[in-house]
A and B are shown apart, each in its own frame.
Chain A
Amino acid sequence: MQPSLEVRDVTKAYRGTVAVDRLSFQVRPGEVTGFVGPNGAGKSTTMRLLLGLDAPDGGDALVNGERYARLDRPLTHVGALLDADAVHPSRRARDHLLWLARSNRLPDARVGEVLDQVGLASVGRKRVGGFSLGMRQRLGIAAALLGDPPVVMFDEPTNGLDPDGIVWIRELVRTLASQGRVVLVSSHLMRELQDTADRLVVIGRGRLVADTTVDDLLGTVSRDQVEVVTPHRSEATTVLANAGARVTIAGGDGVVVEGLPGDRVAALLGTAGIAFTELRRYRASLEEAYMALTRDAVEFAAAEEDGR
Chain B
Amino acid sequence: MSAVRAEWTKLRSVPRWVATFLGALVLTVGLSALAASGSTTDANEHPDFVTGPHGDAVTDGFGFAHQAVTGDTTMTVHVTGLARAATERAESGAPGTAVPTTPWTDIAAGITLKAGTEAGSSYVSVLLTGSHGVRLQGDFTHDVAGSAAHGDRWLRLTRTGGTVTGYESADGTSWTRIGALTPAAIPPRAEIGMAVSAAPVLHVSRGGGGSSVGGHPGRASATFEDVTLEPATDGTWQGTAVTMPTPADQPAKVGGSTAPTPRVLTASGDTSTVTGSGKVGPQRPDDDVVEGALLGVVAGLMALICVGVLFGTSEYRRGMIRTTFAATPRRGRVLAAKALVLGGAAFAVSLVAVVVAFVVAVPILQDHGMAPPAFPSPSLGDPAVVRALVLAALFMTGVTLVALAVGMLLRRTAPAITLTIVLLVLPLVAGTILPGTSPRWLMYTTLAGGLATLRAQPPTDTLAEPWALIGPGAGIGVVASYAAVGLALAWWQLRRRDA
Contact = CB atoms under 8 A, between A and B. Distances in A.
Contact of A91 (B13, B319, B324, B329): B13
A86 B323 contact: yes
A106 to B, nearest CB: 9
A197 interface: no
A83 B319 contact: yes
Interface string A39-52: 00000000010011
Dominant SS among interface residues on chain B: helix
Given A95-B13, A99-B10, A103-B6, A85 B322 contact: no
Q: Which of B5, B9, B319, B326 has the most CB of A within 10 A?
A: B326
B37 interface: no
Interface in A146-173: none
Contacts of A75: 326-327
Contact of A86 (B3, B9, B319): B319
A68 B322 CA distance: 13
B177 interface: no
A98 B5 CA distance: 10
A110 interface: no
Nearest to B15: A90
B327 A98 contact: no
Contact of B322 (A69, A86, A90, A104): A86
Nearest to A70: B329
B330 A69 contact: yes
Given A75-B327, A88-B314, A99-B10, A105 B322 contact: no
A71 B329 contact: yes
B329 A74 contact: yes
A82 B322 contact: yes
Contacts of B5: 102-103
A86 B6 contact: no
B14 interface: yes
A283 interface: no
A92 B14 CA distance: 8
Contacts, number: 89
Contacts of B3: 103
B102 to A, nearest CB: 54
Interface in B1-25: 2-3, 5-7, 9-10, 13-16
A95 B9 contact: yes
Contacts of B325: 51-53
Nearest to A147: B327
A82 B328 contact: no
Contact of B2 (A78, A86, A105): A105
A193 interface: no
A100 interface: yes
A54 B499 contact: yes
Contacts of B253: none
A69 B329 contact: yes
Nearest to B13: A95
A69 B318 CA distance: 22
Interface residues of B, number: 27
A55 interface: yes
A87 interface: yes
A82 B13 contact: no
A48 B327 contact: no
Interface in B315-342: 317-320, 322-330
Nearest to B7: A99
B2 A104 contact: yes
A80 interface: yes
B327 A83 contact: no
Contacts of A100: 6, 323, 327
Interface in A227-261: none
Contact of A87 (B9, B318, B328, B498): B318
Contacts of B13: 88, 90-92, 95-96, 98-99
Nearest to B17: A90
A82 B318 CA distance: 11
Contacts of A51: 322, 325-326
B345 to A, nearest CB: 15
B14 A88 contact: yes
A99 B12 CA distance: 10
Interface string A56-71: 0000000000001101
Contact of A103 (B314, B320, B328, B499): B328
A52 B327 CA distance: 11
| B314, B324, B327 interface centre (most CB from chain A within 10 Å) | B327
B310 to A, nearest CB: 10
Given A68-B329, A100-B6, A55 B319 contact: no
A142 interface: no
Contacts of A102: 2, 5-6, 9
Contact of A104 (B314, B318, B327, B498): B327
Instruction: Indicate the member of B7, B9, B498 with the most A CB atoms within 10 Å.
Output: B9
Contacts of A96: 13
A125 to B, nearest CB: 11
A94 B162 CA distance: 74
Nearest to A69: B329
Contacts of A184: none
A185 interface: no
A143 interface: yes
A107 to B, nearest CB: 12
Contacts of A54: 498-499
A32 B218 CA distance: 94
Nearest to A153: B326
A90 B14 contact: yes
A184 to B, nearest CB: 15
28 contacts: A52-B325, A52-B329, A55-B498, A68-B329, A69-B329, A74-B327, A74-B329, A75-B326, A82-B319, A82-B322, A82-B323, A83-B322, A85-B318, A86-B319, A86-B322, A88-B317, A96-B13, A98-B13, A99-B7, A99-B13, A100-B323, A102-B2, A102-B5, A102-B9, A103-B2, A103-B3, A103-B5, A143-B323
Interface of B: 2-3, 5-7, 9-10, 13-16, 314, 317-320, 322-330, 498-499
Give the 4 A-B residue pairs with the shortest CB-CB distance, closest first: A103-B6, A95-B13, A99-B9, A54-B498
Given A88-B10, A99-B10, A103-B324, 12 more contacts: A48-B499, A55-B498, A74-B328, A83-B318, A86-B322, A88-B14, A91-B10, A92-B13, A95-B9, A96-B13, A104-B327, A105-B2
